[in-house]
Structure 1
Amino acid sequence: MTIIELPKPVRAQAITSIQHYFEENMSEPIGELAAGLLLSFFIEEIGPVIYNHAISEAQTRLQQRVSDLNGELYADAFQYWPRLDARKRKNSR
């Protein structure tokens, strides 16, 4: 798998968010370079775990949908006459 690449605007927002987190929760602020390096580390080290989990969830969801295709899409054949008879019975009441 290739390294996850963030678009520049998204990366800039993520760096700003890391800096904000450090300002609010840590005793010392973090600079833009350090925040960028920390982001790169997390993307490389933890990103694949998150990616793999998302793929696994997507596979499970797709398998559930595919296994229920008959229930979702099955159409009874040769229903013209039974429906016509049902309409006739309904109209004769």
Structure 2
Amino acid sequence: MQPIKFDRDETKAIVAEIQDYFREELDQSIGAMPAEMLMQFFADKMGAHFYNRGLHDAQALIRKKLDNVSDEIFALEQPTRYVR
């Protein structure tokens, strides 16, 4: 897997979320640089877990949709003398 990279705007938004979390939940302040380092730590060390979960969720959704399509196609069959 390639390293997770965020563009400048995404990084700024994530850093702001981390700073908000520290301020609101921990009653502490954290600078932009430490917040960005924390973000990068999570991306490097745990990003693959979140990425894989997203892939598994996407696969489950696609499987469900394909099952629905398959059922709908089966419902279109016309009766014939041929029995399966």
* CA–CA separation in structure 1 for the residues paired with 2:52 and 2:29: 32
C-alpha distance after superposition, 1:53-75 (max 9, x if no partner): 11011111212222333322343
Select the structure of larger CA radius of gyration. 1
Q: Which residue number corresponds to residue 11 of structure 1?
A: 11
Scaled by the length of structure 2, what TM-score is found? 0.76
How big is each residue's C-alpha offset from its partner over 1:13-51, in whole Å with a ceiling of 9 and x where there is no partner? 110111122122224311111000000011111211111
Paired residue total: 78
Q: Which residue of 2 aligns with 1:58?
A: 58
What amino acid does structure 2 have at the position aligned with 1:47?
G
Q: Mind listing any 5+ residue stretches in structure 2 that lack a counterpart? A: 80-84
Relative distance call for 1:25 and 1:70 in structure 2 (3 A) is closer
Are 2:77 and 1:76 equivalent residues in the alignment? Answer: yes
Aligned CA distance change for structure 1 residues 64 and 29 (closer, same or farther; 3 Å): same
RMSD between aligned residues: 1.9
Looking at both structures, which has the greater relative contact order when contacts are Cα pairs under 8 Å and sequence separation is at least 6? 2
Normalised by the length of structure 1, the TM-score is 0.70
TM-superposed CA distance for 1:77, in Å, is 4.7
Match of 2:31 in 1: 31
**Identical aligned residues as a percent:** 24
Determine helix, strand or coil for the equivalent of 2:2. Answer: coil
